[in-house]
Amino acid sequence: MKLTFFLLFFQTRSLLSVFEEDAGTLTDYTNQLLQAMQRVYGAQNEMCLATQQLSKQLLAYEKQNFALGKGDEEVISTLHYFSKVVDELNLLHTELAKQLADTMVLPIIQFREKDLTEVSTLKDLFGLASNEHDLSMAKYSRLPKKKENEKVKTEVGKEVAAARRKQHLSSLQYYCALNALQYRKQMAMMEPMIGFAHGQINFFKKGAEMFSKPMDSFLSSVADMVQSIQVELEAEAEKMRVSQQELLSVDESVYTPDSDVAAPQINRNLIQKAGYLNLRNKTGLVTTTWERLYFFTQGGNLMCQPRGAVAGGLIQDLDNCSVMAVDCEDRRYCFQITTPNGKSGIILQAESRKENEEWICAINNISRQIYLTDNPEAVAIKLNQTALQAVTPITSFGKKQESSCPSQNLKNSEMENENDKIVPKATASLPEAEELIAPGTPIQFDIVLPATEFLDQNRGSRRTNPFGETEDESFPEAEDSLLQQMFIVRFLGSMAVKTDSTTEVIYEAMRQVLAARAIHNIFRMTESHLMITSQSLRYFELTSVTQFAAHQENKRLVGFVIRVPESTGEESLSTYIFESNSEGEKICYAINLGKEIIEVQKDPEALAQLMLSIPLTNDGKYVLLNDQPDDNDDGNPNEHRGAESEA
């Protein structure tokens, strides 16, 4: 619809108001449309930034330190390829964002700023011209009738004519702009959408050309991989469902702690163990707390993993440690781990008798360093079977090591000197078990020696502990001795034997004592100080020690045979078995050296020759065992004296 120059008609003002209302509505709609288009453009820009960030995150997967990240190589390579695809898509999104800005947003902005603003400006100019015309007409209407005012009338008439001309000109421009707006608005609505459509078509077209062919095979392989993972997940979920059903169907006693306390099935061949234990912590001089933590063994170490921790930390090195059941604060199933130097270690509490004994057996197996062998499980089974067989009389000891042991008594040497030639003696047949130890001989697990009770009559009614601690920790018999050597040992057991002519009696006693402890679940051991001098082995005369030997496999086991007179005038033989913090051969060496000193003490030349064969320290002391560990750090001089002997 067009406006004509017939401005004097009555319909002019009505038509003008319709056109102005239409222009106002168009302005509001254009603003809303521009906001929507700017939102699309902003979303496209955000897509560019998002795809760029996505590509970086896909590459960052490889750098994550996943605790369970093993086997992710295929996932990593797939994500790398996807990152490359996303980078290429990012380029397309960036190009699309630029096209939307140029062909969609820019035209609508230009329409609003140019056409709509022009109409608004012309409207204001038309309004000013109309006001001027109204003022001039009002002035013209007030002219008087007198002729003398002709000059004024002429001036006012010219002013009215100029105002009317200006009004007509501005109105003509305004009406033309309103007429043109009807055509321009149609173009303004179509042009941005054409640009939007072309940009999207170009985006999808380039994307199809770039990815359709190479991506088909890749997406197919990825889909197959995802499908296989889904199958594995469903299989695992089915297993878990079956496990849950089995757990629901079991008897409630399975969850009850110590449900089989009467006869628990104990596995004594463990070389690793894991589970929850209560750890005893000292919080003061007399106060303690117990903390429930998860413990597990790793090689020769005892590890602890607190709640919420990703990995465990080292608690105790178990190599050459000892473990024993203890009574602690009226709690059940407690055991203590003692370090190789004899210091008391940590105290732990298990939740059941079965767990308690399995932990003790596992730590005991680990302390022997069985885990370092090629087949530790088989070695542990063999050792435990050997211990179980030891309590049953057997017909043969089997093949023993043929090499001579330095711990054997000199009178049992298998070599003799004849015509300046060393000729090995024929190996005697191994004795039967019944010839060494009488069947059914009781084993004593405390350290009191019944056979010496008659020697204690002058000391009072209390029996003497020959290897334990006494009220007087000094050793007066060692003050003038050429040899002083102290060892920290744990008493395993003693038993009467029938002969002391061979070290086989010590090996047989070791087997029976260890087997009896394993079968009867006896894990407590009394820790003692074993002082060896050139006169005595603690309370025994050194001359009463007739045999001594260390175990061939477990180097910390040592035993000796004592010949003691009885009140009836006869003599009895008893074998004592110990576990030492150091190697048993060192104890045997000290005993053998003491016996040699006793033999040569009456011959000064032989004694001097023996002393010359022993190395000296810088301060003139005889070094017997250079690598003897420091048994105690409490500052007791009698205990530190065991590191070397004084002449």
Per residue in 473-486, pLDDT (tens digit) is 444 545 556 677 88
In a domain, 236, yes or no: no
CATH of the domain at 93: 1.20.1270.60
Q: Are residues 288 and 205 in the same domain?
A: no
Do 32 and 161 share a structural domain?
yes
Query: Which CATH number belongs to the domain containing residue 355 in this structure?
Result: 2.30.29.30
476 assigned to some structural domain = no
Q: Do residues 334 and 204 share a domain?
A: no
The more confident residue out of 518 and 331 is 331
**Token pair for 612:** 């010359």
Q: Give, to the nearest 10 degrees, the angle between helix 584-600 and helix 604-612.
A: 150
Do 53 and 168 fall into the same domain?
Answer: yes
Residue 402's pLDDT band (cuts 50, 70, 90): very low
Strand blocks (E) in 270-321: 274-282, 288-298, 301-305, 313-317
Residue 457 is assigned to a structural domain of this protein: no
pTM for the model stands at: 0.42
- Give the single-character DSSP code of 113: I
- Residues 141 and 133: their CA atoms lie apart, in Å, by 12
**Domain finish residue from 323, 352, 383:** 383
Between 11-25, 351-365, 492-506, 551-565, the lowest mean confidence (pLDDT) is in 11-25
Residue 419 tokens, joined = 């015509």
The whole-number pLDDT of residue 429 equals 60
Q: What is the structure's pLDDT at 31?
A: 93
Q: Of 254-258, 424-428, 620-624, which one has max mean pLDDT? A: 254-258
Among 65, 92, 93, 59, CA closest to 77: 59
Largest CA distance in the chain: 182
Helices in 446-524 by DSSP H: which ranges?
504-519
Tokens encoding 447: 């350290």
Does residue 549 or residue 413 have the better pLDDT? Answer: 549
State both tokens at 51.
Answer: 């795809």
Q: Which of 82, 92, 40 shows the shortest CA–CA distance to 62?
A: 82
Domain end, chosen from 165, 183, 210, is at: 210
> How do beta strands 571-580 and 557-565 pair?
antiparallel
- Give Cα 120 distance to the centre of its chain: 75
pLDDT digits (tens, 9 = 90+) for 298-310: 989 999 998 888 7
Q: What angle do CA 89, 92, 98 make, to 5 degrees?
A: 145
**Statement to judge: residues 378 and 488 lie in one domain:** no
Q: What is the structure's pLDDT at 458?
A: 40
What is the predicted pLDDT for the residue at 625? 42
Q: Is the pLDDT of residue 373 over 70?
A: yes
Q: Are residues 31 and 161 in the same domain?
A: yes
- Could you tell me if residue 241 is inside a domain? no
Q: Is residue 254 part of a domain?
A: no
Give the residue with greater pLDDT, 171 vs 455.
171
Asked whether the predicted pLDDT for residue 344 surpasses 90, the reply is: no
Q: What is the pLDDT of residues 210-234, one digit of tens each?
A: 777 667 778 888 888 888 889 989 9
End of a domain among 167, 191, 210? Answer: 210
Q: By three-state DSSP, how is residue 429 classified? A: coil
- Answer whether residue 635 is part of any domain: no
Domain that holds residue 121: 10-145+153-210
Nearest to 96 by CA among 142, 150, 53, 51: 51
Average pLDDT for 102-108: 92
pLDDT of residue 524: 66
Q: pLDDT averaged over the chain?
A: 77
What secondary structure, in 3-state letters, does 118-162 show? HHHHHHHHHHHHHHHHHHHHHHHHCCCCCHHHHHHHHHHHHHHHH
Do residues 176 and 281 share a domain? no
70 — pLDDT class (breaks 50, 70, 90)? confident
Say whether both 167 and 278 belong to one domain. no
Within-domain flag for 218:
no
pLDDT digits (tens, 9 = 90+) for 147-166: 667 778 888 888 889 988 98
Span 569-595, average pLDDT: 86
Question: Do 156 and 164 form a contact (C-beta atoms < 8 A)?
Answer: no
Does residue 184 sit in helix, strand or coil?
helix
Order of strands across the sheet that contains 571-580: 540-541, 536-537, 526-533, 484-496, 571-580, 557-565, 545-550
pLDDT band at 581 (very low <50, low <70, confident <90, very high): confident
Same-domain check for residues 294 and 190: no
Residue 252 burial by Cβ neighbours in a 10 Å radius (0-12, 13-18, 19+): exposed
Three-state secondary-structure class, residue 268: coil
pLDDT of the residue at 273: 93
**The sheet that has 274-282: what strands, in order across it?**
313-317, 301-305, 288-298, 274-282, 344-349, 331-338, 322-328
Domain total of the chain: 3
Kindly provide the residue ranges of all beta strands, DSSP E only, lying in 195-352, ordered along the sequence. Answer: 274-282, 288-298, 301-305, 313-317, 322-328, 331-338, 344-349
For residues 91 and 204, state if they share a domain: yes
Whether residue 439 is contained in a domain is answered as no
Confidence of residue 424 (pLDDT cuts 50, 70, 90): very low
What was the pLDDT predicted at 386?
Answer: 62
**Whether residue 139 is found in the same domain as residue 40:** yes
Report whether pLDDT(96) > 90.
Answer: yes
108 shares a domain with 189: yes
